[in-house]
Structure 1
């Protein structure tokens, strides 16, 4: 007779079998989970998306654009120690209720009426996924959306309206349309621009807004001559008032920038736009005699796309004052000639500006010069910014933001004063146009291309009109070709087209 298992023994065998089956299932699930996470980490690394962002749907933010309710360490005035300031008081952010900030370069905010706490779509507003996607858990569908489908509709630009500019059938088409206006923007950005147009932090008084609508449109050569005649690129020198009275003024260069460097034959203005990523333009950029870069834009690790040569680095006073950028210690700011700038009140003289800078540019300048006495370092005269702003407004049929032009346009005009030919890369977006703000960061917003604080949209209109290269060059390389001021004589006739 065979051995017969009793009822109690059978129960124990069944329980052991069930435990073993659960253990095998658990091991299989864990193995599948580990494999999924490994694949997810690999995909995230290739797409420069943090895993937590992919799973939980949160977009990465740049260090320069922290959350509106956080505090950032910034040097102010003549204080010997840094203090923490409310981000609502920084340039580019309209003061107001911190719980309802104006949506400037902020993926959390879609419109003025939307509270930042409600930035995620409600379940009933989310469109269900069909097919295989509908069977996947939400974290995995978020990851797939983030990695392969980009952002969810309406997450960054307000009901998806601004994405019209970036698709194959978008308003921009192949190249920038120099008739762009704020009325063509999506709802979110239109409200942002309108709010900045209504603000007047710098006391701008421009008597004839909209004059361009009543007069014939200026041609590109006419605009070039207007810039040459009315925008004077000047840097501060020790004999200027009030600096002549200050002992530290001996640290300022004794001569203007244009007297110390140049002239150059060919120059490259390299924007920090996200569309520089994967451009492969590095060798072309480095082939120029001089290259200008902006703020914290790096070259290390991005040489293939942006090159490695830096002749001039134009930096704003906010970058100089923020501890995040390590302006006093980072080697990034010891490569090339530094040119700093800070916006002054519209009609102020140097005395008023010295006591009313946006950020402590002079304090940081003195600290930097003590640490790096041999580094060439100039400060742009603030009247340059408003001379250039006047030219933009004169040639636009609607009011523009009453804020200084962007570093990109300032750097372009600066190089036009030093070079025979200037090539500007990705200031006008190419076929690589994207909502990625900077090629070296992961912050995404259409405002980086279309403008918010700076009158960027109108600056691009101006540059497009002055472009003497081919539209094809803009589409394929994001390259605009401009003549330097020394290459044409407006008294003998307008500059001819470049070939």
Structure 2
């Protein structure tokens, strides 16, 4: 007669057995999950697709991006809170157009018509490069996986075609670039800015975009010298002379306090400065101008460490993200700030209609750093320069002020004998990476969205006194200082080179 296990003990054995079985199943499921994630991660890495996009889809991430008209930050100060709308151009993946219909341009394929034709009619098939796992998979399965993971191969190929337009086989920026060569999204952005006309631009040539005749480089230089006046605010100017804080403004204009310099470097913030190795060359100049929040620490090999002038826009001054009042980034060299004003306004109107609270931030910074030179550009300069741009282009340009890069270039041409501009025109290192110190990509950073960048590059290319080889290899443009040529002699203005 066999031994009988008591009921209570049988229940305990049965329960223990069930727990062990569930534990084994759990371990097995976890192992399968880990293996699946490892394979997925490998596939995503080979196709440059974020794992989250592969799991949840790109649309989920795109939907989560902020709308341009709903982004609000508050600048908190002693006088309470003032709503401040962040420039949507600075937001990842969003370029503004109609505020009610923001236009996303994340990973947009903004390439030229020539590139599109090459893509539609390829001359030959190039051998595709894949990772080890993709090589082990069959072609149909590999294609299916690439489709599931966002079609990145096709996007990469299109982006490569866009790059080829500028730098393949030594080709550099064409000074006849036009909006017809933009992708659909950027073209729509430009059209929207034309319609918005936020600053009330009224310019006869802007409607028809009719150019009298294409001026030579020396003629353009003389036009800039005679028609764009570099002026900074001083205490005696109205309405500032009535304010107690007017004493914080420099008594002498910038042109009297800085320079003259023999050689100057204008260092853009372009992503193509990465791995350029231009740091020593840049620092060898007598003066170096940098822009907005572009750092040097950690990037000295590529961008140098010297800072003589830092040109900043009012948004950087007001944004909490840039820590303008507390960051040591802004304490090197002289500061020059600017803010867009209405096209035909005087200083009184501009003072009450600034884009961002430039004067409030200026006062705060000056009280914290009373010894540092800090100037504010007269807003008339922005629109004088814009008029020269529009007058020399064959089509209407964006009715928004020029970029900090072009403003800084003309500023340094007034202070220096020779100006070298780095990566304003893209070199062979051209990339859609917006800034060398960030990992955000967008073709708008090269072609322009808010600012008329495309046309600015056209103008600079026409005035370049260096070689195309310098642009291709080093991204270096050479411009003469205004004091090095005489525009009063007709022969000089037409034949100087």
Q: Which SS does the other structure have where 2:493 is aligned?
A: coil
Match of 2:414 in 1: 417
Q: Structure 1 residues 72 and 51 mapped into 2: Cα distance closer, same or farther (>3 Å)?
A: farther
Q: Which SS does the other structure have where 2:337 is aligned?
A: strand
Whole-Å Cα distance in 2 between the matches of residues 232 and 269 of structure 1? 19
Aligned residues: 447
Match of 2:346 in 1: 349
2:330 pairs with one of 308, 329, 333: 333
Q: Structure 1 residues 300 and 496 mapped into 2: Cα distance closer, same or farther (>3 Å)?
A: farther
Whole-Å Cα distance in 2 between the matches of residues 54 and 300 of structure 1? 36
How big is the shift at 1:170? 7.9
Match of 1:440 in 2: 437
Report the aligned-residue RMSD: 4.0
Q: Structure 1 residues 408 and 169 mapped into 2: Cα distance closer, same or farther (>3 Å)?
A: closer
Q: Which SS does the other structure have where 1:93 is aligned?
A: strand
Q: Structure 1 residues 167 and 229 mapped into 2: Cα distance closer, same or farther (>3 Å)?
A: same
Kindly indicate whether the alpha-carbon contact (under 8 Å) linking 2:186 and 2:449 is maintained by their aligned counterparts in 1: yes
How big is the shift at 1:316? 0.5
Q: Which SS does the other structure have where 2:68 is aligned?
A: coil
Whole-Å Cα distance in 2 between the matches of residues 262 and 300 of structure 1? 25
Q: Structure 1 residues 85 and 380 mapped into 2: Cα distance closer, same or farther (>3 Å)?
A: closer
1:363 pairs with one of 352, 360, 368: 360
Q: Which SS does the other structure have where 2:96 is aligned?
A: coil
Q: Which of the two has greater helix per residue?
A: 2
How big is the shift at 1:152? 6.2
The unaligned stretches of length 5 or more in structure 2 are 1-17, 111-137
2:320 pairs with one of 312, 320, 323: 323
Pairing 1:102–2:99 present: no
Kindly indicate whether the alpha-carbon contact (under 8 Å) linking 1:88 and 1:95 is maintained by their aligned counterparts in 2: no
Match of 1:483 in 2: 480
Q: Structure 1 residues 71 and 222 mapped into 2: Cα distance closer, same or farther (>3 Å)?
A: same
Whole-Å Cα distance in 1 between the matches of residues 198 and 20 of structure 2? 76
Match of 1:399 in 2: 396
With the length of structure 2 as denominator, give the TM-score of the two structures. Answer: 0.78
Whole-Å Cα distance in 1 between the matches of residues 424 and 296 of structure 2? 18
1:130 pairs with one of 130, 133, 139: 139
Higher mean C-alpha displacement, 77-86 vs 438-447: 77-86
Pairing 1:183–2:180 present: yes
Q: Which SS does the other structure have where 1:491 is aligned?
A: coil
Match of 2:96 in 1: 93
Kindly indicate whether the alpha-carbon contact (under 8 Å) linking 2:109 and 2:155 is maintained by their aligned counterparts in 1: no
Kindly indicate whether the alpha-carbon contact (under 8 Å) linking 2:97 and 2:189 is maintained by their aligned counterparts in 1: no
Kindly indicate whether the alpha-carbon contact (under 8 Å) linking 1:273 and 1:427 is maintained by their aligned counterparts in 2: yes
Kindly indicate whether the alpha-carbon contact (under 8 Å) linking 2:266 and 2:290 is maintained by their aligned counterparts in 1: yes
Whole-Å Cα distance in 1 between the matches of residues 186 and 41 of structure 2? 38
Q: Structure 1 residues 413 and 84 mapped into 2: Cα distance closer, same or farther (>3 Å)?
A: closer
1:310 pairs with one of 288, 307, 310: 307
Q: Structure 1 residues 432 and 152 mapped into 2: Cα distance closer, same or farther (>3 Å)?
A: closer
Whole-Å Cα distance in 1 between the matches of residues 307 and 43 of structure 2? 37
Q: Which SS does the other structure have where 1:208 is aligned?
A: helix
Pairing 1:463–2:464 present: no
Whole-Å Cα distance in 1 between the matches of residues 90 and 432 of structure 2? 23
How big is the shift at 1:428? 0.7
Kindly indicate whether the alpha-carbon contact (under 8 Å) linking 1:290 and 1:310 is maintained by their aligned counterparts in 2: yes
Match of 1:228 in 2: 225
Whole-Å Cα distance in 1 between the matches of residues 77 and 22 of structure 2? 70
Q: Which SS does the other structure have where 2:398 is aligned?
A: coil
Whole-Å Cα distance in 1 between the matches of residues 310 and 194 of structure 2? 29
Kindly indicate whether the alpha-carbon contact (under 8 Å) linking 2:98 and 2:192 is maintained by their aligned counterparts in 1: no
Whole-Å Cα distance in 2 between the matches of residues 40 and 369 of structure 1? 53
Higher mean C-alpha displacement, 173-182 vs 465-474: 173-182
Kindly indicate whether the alpha-carbon contact (under 8 Å) linking 2:166 and 2:172 is maintained by their aligned counterparts in 1: no
Match of 2:294 in 1: 297
With the length of structure 1 as denominator, give the TM-score of the two structures. Answer: 0.78
Structure 2 matches for 1:49-60, cutoff 5 A?
A: 52=52
CA displacement 1:370-407 (0-9 Å, x = unmatched): 22222221101100000100100110111111110011
CA displacement 1:406-447 (0-9 Å, x = unmatched): 111001001101111001111111111111111111222111
Higher mean C-alpha displacement, 313-322 vs 129-138: 129-138
Match of 1:75 in 2: 75
Kindly indicate whether the alpha-carbon contact (under 8 Å) linking 1:283 and 1:304 is maintained by their aligned counterparts in 2: yes
Q: Structure 1 residues 20 and 453 mapped into 2: Cα distance closer, same or farther (>3 Å)?
A: closer
The unaligned stretches of length 5 or more in structure 1 are 1-14, 112-128, 154-159
Match of 2:114 in 1: none
Kindly indicate whether the alpha-carbon contact (under 8 Å) linking 1:209 and 1:397 is maintained by their aligned counterparts in 2: no
The ranges of structure 1 where at least 4 consecutive aligned residues each deviate by more than 4 angstroms after the TM superposition are: 15-41, 49-59, 76-79, 84-92, 108-111, 134-139, 149-153, 168-173, 210-214, 495-498
Kindly indicate whether the alpha-carbon contact (under 8 Å) linking 1:267 and 1:290 is maintained by their aligned counterparts in 2: yes
Match of 2:256 in 1: 259
Pairing 1:244–2:241 present: yes
How big is the shift at 1:201? 1.1
